[in-house]
Structure 1
Amino acid sequence: MSQTMPPENLSSRLLTVLSLPLLDRLHELSILFDRCTLRQIQEIFPHIVHSIFGINGNPLGWGLRTTTLENSPLHFQTLHQFFGVCGPWMHLCHRLLLDQCKFELDINLLPAKFVSMLQSGQSPRFYAELINIDSMKHQVATLSLNAFDFYVIHFVLYALQPLHSINPIAMQIHNVRSKTIYLKLVSEYLNNFLPLVPDARIEPVQFSSGVKAPQPLPAQALQPQRQPRYIKIPSSFRNGGNVSGRGGSPTSSGGSGNTSPQSNSPNASANRAYAWRSESVLHFFVDIWLRYDIESEHHLPSSDFVRGVRTLVKQVHFFANGAQQDHTSLCALRKVSLSMVKARIYAFLCGLIDRWPLDSSLMVVLELWLSYIQPWRYTMAALNNKTPSLAYRPPILSCFDGFIIDNLIMYTHIFMQLLPHFGRLDYTVYRNAFMLYRLATMFAQHDLVERLQRFERIHAGNAYGFDSPQRQVNMMNKSYSPGSQWNHVVNTHSAKLFSHPMQVQMESFLFLISMARNSVLRDISSLRNEIAERQRSEGFLKNFFNKLFRECTQDELTLREFSRIPEVLRQCIDAFCRTFNVDQANLSMHENLPEEPCPPASTTVQNFSFFDSSNSLDRSKLNPHQMSLNASNMHATVDPAMLPIQTNEVRSLVRILHFVSEKINRKYGSQIQAFYVRDDYCGKVARQLLYAPMTEQWFDKSSGQVDMCESVVPPRVCLRSLGSIPVLVTIAAVLVLGQLIWGAPIVGLLILGTVLLVYTLLQALFS
């Protein structure tokens, strides 16, 4: 090891290092860790953790939730190497376990529901040795954590920061499906510490695994913040039970509250030393993330947080499904892991669905729900299957019947809660149609539908995993009070998923979907006619050159997306009709019904549209279908130069050409605009070569509601067409032709340029 750093220089050196750019900061910290003693590292460790996650400072921290492989590949790779399970940071956390030092965490940094759990005395035994009770207030004040737990709990809490409402970069990243380094680390940590394979090696392997002698905890009474009738004090508080220390040592098993009879044997100590990290990771992720108070928080959680919860749910399924083959110390934790998630997931999902906006971002919530209710997709057999994920339909084995019965409410009531939201979606957007397809195909699984129908008949009224109907109502009201829309349907016949009222409701829903499909077909036909008419007016020569040198127009891109929607919606209708025994002929009969007579011309409101500028618009007469049709007329309009890079374009070349175009437009913008508006022949040529002015329109959701914003784009130069593969192939062909015929490639290029110039001049002359 290098020369030890003097203590008096340590604090100033750390401040200097933390102020450096990220790459330099990571490099200097690695050197600092080598030069410091274990005692010095203990002093600076909390400050580094707070800096990483932006505690009492910049909420972005080190940018773990804003760094993606697309926007910063070097930072992404460097952060992954530093924070990975085998990286220097994780080794440092395990190195600090040697001294069994503890770090204090103020409970004010924890979510309100999590703090309430600790204060009420109803927390699992896992937290018994972690909490510190204020002797004056008789309430939990801090948590004492070892280095590993201190880092992991801050890592988990970091996902709850509403960065998407604070930072525009985070908002842009969290609204798309880019994978941040934070999500990659979430997946890596969960996969490492909650392994699927029973004999998997948990990294890092080399660390202090000594077990402290069990220390009885003082029996201090907790003073709860609320006054419940009964306070459940963990057994470790009541009788000073044996709880092993966690300064690099294991804890009590799995939060189940039961201690193995061999808990005092040397083998049991070694087993606990191996399993305690998995226990910490499971408890912190489940107890903190699934206690996110969606109803009380001002901001919705970001999409990347919901994706992180989905990763957790999938990994817990993998972890729990390996219990039958596991005979190690992790077996007990595997058996209780799924029940820990089950206790919180219903209220979490209900809150999400109630508040989530009705757009294509609802897909992340849908995927979370579908992942939880399909545990058969997360087994060793499923992992080894080579079929694409969406096409894979594993058989539902009988061993999953218990899960379906215990979680029947997750299949039935969540579906009924989602259905009205899907009835208000705009199906002229392909992603919305695909969301409906995901929902339809999941419930169309024959094995699943048969099971749900059978279990609902057997367990309706007095089950869903509860002891009695009254207990079911109480538990649902306790776990999900806002909205109260489910409280009155829990034990009614209409709440059954496969009842006659639900069949009638599904028929009405499928009628709306059928109408939306017909509307999309009409839009496709109209758009095709418009494109064909425009191409006929432009003539054969211009169409030929447009296909060679010009990228797709906005109408052509829209048509390409529209063309996929009718078939997807048809498959959804077929699947739902099979699932809920709906006769498709009824939908056709509805479509052929005569339309209601239009109101007389003398009436005040002649057109039910949100675009009516008059003050007499009566929105109360709008039904959901008319509202959906009005919403479908609102589309974002994007500058063609700013469209996503297509598959027939060279990515790096398009970016270079865009950079050059922007430079030209910024430097000569006024001259370009002056040429474009001229009435002489030069103006006509300019209008052939330049992009026309336009008004961009986009939807802004930063304020919590959807606002349409506009921006005027002036005439401009755009060289993007030179980055398309057909153009490059044409240029290469004329270069080869010039070499073969005239012996000089440049001659072929000059001839091509001359032809294009003459064509442009002729177009300008006759325009």
Structure 2
Amino acid sequence: MQSHILNVLNLPLMDKLLQLEILFERCTLRQIQELFPLIVHSMFGINGHVLGWGLRTTTMENAPHYFNRLQHFLGVHGIWMQICHKLLNETTKFEIDINLLPRKFIGMLQAGPMFYADLINIDILKHQITTLSLNAFDFYIFHFALYALQPLHTINPIAMQIHNERSKTIYQLLSAEYLENFLPFSPDARIEPVNFSNTIKAPQPLPAQTLQPMRQPKYLKLPSSWRNSNGVVISSSPGSGNTSPQSDSSGGASGRAHVWRSESVLHFFVDIWLRYDIESEHHLPSSEYVRGVRTLVKQVHFFANAARIDHTPLCALRKLSVSMVKGRIYAFLCSLIDRWPLDSSLSVVLELWLSYIQPWRYTLAAVNHHGGINYQPEISRYFDGFIIDNLIVYTHIFMQLLPRFERLDYSVYRNAYMLHRFAKMFAQHDLIGRLQQFERLHSGNTYGFDSPQRQVNTLNRSHNSSYNAQWNPLHSSNIPKLFSEDMHMQIESFLYVISMARNTVLSNIRNLRGEIAERQRSEGYLKNLFKKFMGKSTQDEITLCEASRIPEVLRQSIDAFCRTFNVDMGNLSMLEHDTLPAEPTPPASISGKSFSFFDANGSLDTSKLTPQQMSLNLSNIHPTIDPAMLPIMTNEIKPLVRALHFISESINNKFGTQIAAYYAREDFCGKLTRQLLCPPMTEQWFGKNHGNADLFERQVPARVSLRALGSIPTLLVLGCALCFGQLWCGAPIVGLLALCALFLCYSALLAMLS
């Protein structure tokens, strides 16, 4: 059986899934139990190919058949989840070597959290944790969560391309499906699968997530009950029973049977994902991983916000879920922001932060509203306790992001929209007023409180909040002040930089419009009419279309910040969005200084440049791409464009030298060639290397580009020519030849006039 399963696991994915389904039908439960760990290891690339089954490289765009097949096999209603539940009983356990787990997770286990008390095996002689013993469901979910920590985007080119896009992998879809199923936002939701053995886990208490120690414990802290290396369960405190609050309130084992899976999913995802060692890892986590953490945060909010109306055994877990995330999210966000590159991908980190600090967006009312990203529900007093508990996540993360936003390039629309999201969050309702009030109350004795804990207790009573705001001693002594005089001046300086960047964008738009108008005048009326009819847009026109949206977005952002932080907009010298200044006026603090990175000798000298000057210089650097390599547009046929690109590349590779020679000639042949071919250009793009965004360049010679033949307007013209030839001459080819002759005559005329 071992050799057979190894052969099956080496098959291509579609054949492998089919053979596994047949195997599950024919094998006994005992045989499936022996094969189960091998299948899980193959699935996630343990002791084998690192990609495993390709869960983090398969998307609906690149492999729709694989995507749908994996979803059907691994989903909550799939055959794999049924197998995991069939193997659930008291004796069937699968072990994981502790040395294979992340360092921070091992440190958490050594602190002795109560949830893992019946899962860890301890060598009683060495006084060390050796393995984890998990049932089939926990074994799979644990490996599923660990799989997100593998840095696939740094070792596989396919993963690198996918993780830089917004496409959703099957791993992301399954993560969301598992979280929504096992952490349901509705109290009457049914957790699938329903039918399985009830005697799975001994009831365990559900403690609140404790603060992590400042240093590693010298000795292992034993939980109240643990399992030695021989598998014998030992109690370290006689007479101490493991009673669950859920069991007490819901009738014991029957309630526990439907709650332990939710406990496992919540603990494994939070304890593994939010303990990603960003400081020690050489590579940053992928954008896919950060989006996965955001999915977890949103679902935890949904799960916790239903605690008020939930009277099921899940209620106790709902009340503890947010505090579990709170124990890790602040350090996770700070480390992530410190190392994340300054480009548009910063939006995934921003959205994670915004999702965590806006729990009022993830309620049953919000689900029924279907308001989307622009939906702004009222912030009820119920969430005051959450705001107090997480005040430092609001204030300090904002202060940490501010200088990074100051250095972004706002000639890119995605960066401008990211700033708009940043400004819009704090401008909603009376949030800023509450933050200011709570920050004053956190100032301690200055405002009449004799202890931090008393002020929090007073605040809780005054607002009748359902949250229990626990004072955090790690942060109370040095909590940053968002509403201080120094911070107000920093925000004014920040808004001045944004207004200058906006003026620069307006100036660039005016210059670009002038360049396009000048080129259209030089090309003549006929060529412009032909281009308009064919629906062909140049790179400058595409850039202008995107840049035209930026000034209004920046204006709305500046207006939101000014209203939120009481900044006088008149001090910013911001011009109206419909005016186009000849040159942006430099700030008074840097007037008279050069806006160039180079001195008179052409040497780079950044010692005298302020961040504002560097930001203004960077805003003039634009990525330039070969028009043939632009994303396929809606008026183009994808397979045809790809085929024409392949043909064009083949011609350019084979006859590149002859094409360049003809293009450089000064006679009529050279002029005609320059009308038919794409001109030489310098490609520029930004690439991320070790967390830095660098500008790369590549010279592109004159070349053939047949992409225009892949657009729908061009195909309509060709179709009309064929119909014309059939109707008037009885042969469609005649109409096509006539169209080609007309096009060549037009190109020859342009060549003579040039």
What SS does structure 1 have at the residue aligned with 2:46? coil
* Counterpart contact for 1:295–1:351, Cα < 8 Å: yes
Aligned counterpart, 2:139:
150
Alignment pair present for 1:418 and 2:418? no
After superposition, the CA RMSD in angstroms is 3.0
Other-structure match for 1:537: 522
Q: For residues 40-55 of structure 1, what are the structure 2 equivalents within 5 Å?
A: 40-55=31-46
Supply the distance in 1 between the matched residues of 2:699 and 2:29 (Cα, whole angstroms): 60
Match of 1:452 among 414, 428, 435: 435
Tell me, in whole angstroms, the C-alpha distance in 1 between the residues paired with 2:203 and 2:290.
39
Tell me which residue corresponds to 2:674.
Answer: 687
Of the three residues 192, 195, 199, the one matched with 1:206 is: 195
Deviation for aligned residue 1:762: 1.8
Residue 162 (structure 1) shift: 1.1
Residues 122-170 of structure 1, C-alpha deviations (whole Å, 9 max, x = no match): x1x2110000001221111110001110110111011111111111221
Tell me, yes or no, if structure 1 residue 701 matches structure 2 residue 688.
yes
Q: Does 1:160 align with 2:149?
A: yes
Decide whether the 8 Å contact of 2:444 with 2:452 is kept in 1.
Answer: no
Distance in structure 2 (CA, Å) of the matches to 1:533 and 1:379? 55
Deviations 1:565-613 (A, max 9, x none): 10000001110110001111121299687686647xxxxxxx5534669
Which residue does 1:756 correspond to in 2? Answer: 743
Helix, strand or coil at the partner of 2:121 = strand
Amino acid at match of 1:280: S
CA distance in 1, matches of 2:661, 2:329: 61
The alpha-carbon deviation at position 705 of structure 1 amounts to 2.9
Equivalent residue letter for 1:239: S
Residue 56 of structure 1 is matched in structure 2 by 47
What amino acid does structure 1 have at the position aligned with 2:302?
F
Q: How many residues align?
A: 712
- For the structure 1 residues 338 and 678, does the alpha-carbon distance in structure 2 shift closer, same or farther, using more than 3 Å as the test? same
2:231 aligned residue:
none
Cα deviation, 1:349-370, whole Å, max 9, x if unaligned, reads: 1111111111111101110010
Aligned to 2:66: 75
1:210-229 to structure 2, matched below 5 A, reads 210=199, 228=217
> Does the C-alpha gap of structure 1 residues 225 and 423 become closer, same or farther in structure 2, counting only changes over 3 Å?
closer
Partner of residue 247, structure 1? none
SS at match of 2:374: coil
Distance of 2:406 and 2:590 partners within structure 1 = 22
- The residue that corresponds to 1:602 in the other structure is none
Tell me, which stretches of 5 or more residues in structure 1 are unaligned? 1-9, 217-223, 245-251, 478-486, 600-606
Matches of residues 76-115 of structure 1 in structure 2 within 5 Å?
76-98=67-89, 100-115=91-106
Say if 1:670 and 1:359 are closer, same or farther in 2 by CA, change over 3 A.
Answer: same
Equivalence for 1:406: 389
1:115 Cα shift? 0.6
- Identify the residue that residue 528 of structure 1 maps to in structure 2: 513
Q: Does 1:308 align with 2:292?
A: yes
Structure 2 counterpart of 1:717: 704
Structure 2 counterpart of 1:515, one-letter code: M
Identity among equivalent positions (%) equals: 66
Shift of 1:476: 3.5
> Hey, what does 1:395 align to over in structure 2?
378
Q: Is the 8 A contact 1:119 1:225 kept in 2?
A: no
Distance of aligned partners of 1:408 and 1:593 in 2 relative to their CA distance in 1, 3 Å threshold: closer
Question: In structure 1, what residue type is equivalent to 2:184?
Answer: P
Gap change, CA 1:50 and 1:702, over 3 Å in 2:
farther
Contact 2:14-2:69 within 8 A present in 1 as well: yes
CA contact (8 A) 1:194 1:319 kept: yes
Deviation string, structure 1 residues 178-222 (Cα, Å, up to 9, x no partner): 111110111111011111111111112222223577799xxxxxx
Cα distance in 2, alignment partners of residues 660 and 613 from structure 1? 48
Asked if residue 180 in structure 1 is aligned to residue 169 in structure 2, the reply is yes
> Which amino acid in the other structure matches residue 141 of structure 1?
T
Q: What do residues 223-242 of structure 1 show as CA deviations (whole Å, max 9, x unaligned)?
A: x9977599865444542677
User: Residues 259 and 313 of structure 2 are in contact (CA less than 8 Å); yes or no, is this contact kept in structure 1?
Assistant: yes
Q: How does 1:241-320 map to 2 (within 5 A)?
A: 253=244, 258=245, 260-261=247-248, 267-320=251-304
Shift of 1:621: 0.2
* Worse overlay, 543-552 or 41-50: 543-552
Residue number in structure 2 paired with 1:441:
424
Give the aligned partner of residue 3 of structure 1. none
Conserved in 2, the CA contact under 8 Å of 1:215 and 1:243? no
Match of 1:583 among 549, 555, 568: 568
Amino acid at match of 1:504: M
CA distance in structure 1 between the partners assigned to 2:238 and 2:91 by the alignment? 22
- Asked if the contact 2:500–2:574 (Cα under 8 Å) also holds between the matched residues in 1, the reply is no
Distance (whole Å) between structure 1 residues aligned to residue 590 and residue 239 of structure 2 = 75
Relative to 1, partners in 2 of residues 1:469 and 1:356: Cα closer, same or farther, differing over 3 Å?
A: farther
Q: 1:750 Cα deviation (Å)?
A: 4.0
Measured against aligned partners, the alpha-carbon deviations of 1:307-363 in whole angstroms (never above 9, x if no partner) come to 000000000011111112222211111111111111111111111111111111110
Q: Return the alpha-carbon distance in structure 1 between the equivalents of residues 455 and 165 of structure 2.
A: 42
The CA distance in 2 between the partners of 1:269 and 1:619, in whole Å, is: 68
Q: Secondary structure at the match of 2:683?
A: strand
Distance between the aligned counterparts of 1:336 and 1:589, measured in 2? 48
For 2:110, which of 83, 104, 119 is the aligned residue? 119
The structure-2 alpha-carbon separation of the partners of 1:560 and 1:442, relative to structure 1 and needing over 3 Å to count, comes to same
Partner residue, 1:431: 414
Over 3 Å counting, the alpha-carbon distance change for 1:615 and 1:566 in structure 2 is: closer
Q: Secondary structure at the match of 1:619?
A: coil
SS in 1 for 2:88: helix
- Of residues 25, 30, 33, the one that matches 1:34 is 25
The residue that corresponds to 2:558 in the other structure is: 573
Cα contact 1:214–1:243 (8 A) shared by 2: no
Give yes or no for contact 1:676–1:683 (8 Å, CA) kept in 2: yes
Distance change in 2, residues 1:18/1:675 (3 Å): farther
Aligned partner of 2:532 among 547, 550, 553: 547
Change (3 A) 1:101 1:528: same
Deviation at 1:761, TM superposition (A): 2.0
**Aligned residue type for 1:510:** L
The answer to whether the 8 Å contact 1:17/1:29 transfers is yes
Aligned to 1:332: 316
Equivalent residues of 1:38, 1:96 under 8 A apart:
yes
Displacement after TM superposition at 1:446 (Å)? 2.2
| SS, match of residue 657 in structure 1 | helix
- The residue that corresponds to 1:140 in the other structure is 129
| 1: CA distance, partners of 2:571 / 2:700 | 49
Q: Tell me how far apart the structure 1 counterparts of residues 309 and 513 of structure 2 sit (CA, whole Å).
A: 58
Distance 1:242 1:684 in 2: 93
1:515 aligns with 2:514: no
Secondary structure of the corresponding residue to residue 532 of structure 1: helix
Shift of residue 378 of structure 1? 0.7
Give me the TM-score of the superposition, normalised by structure 1: 0.86
Gapped regions of structure 2 (runs ≥ 5): 206-212, 226-234, 457-469, 576-584
Does residue 559 of structure 1 match 2:557?
no
* 1:740-755 aligned within 5 A: 748-755=735-742
- Give the match's secondary structure for 1:261: helix
8 Å Cα contact 1:608/1:617 also seen in 2: no
Secondary structure (helix, strand or coil) at the match of 2:567 reads coil
From 637, 643, 647, the equivalent of 1:650 is 637
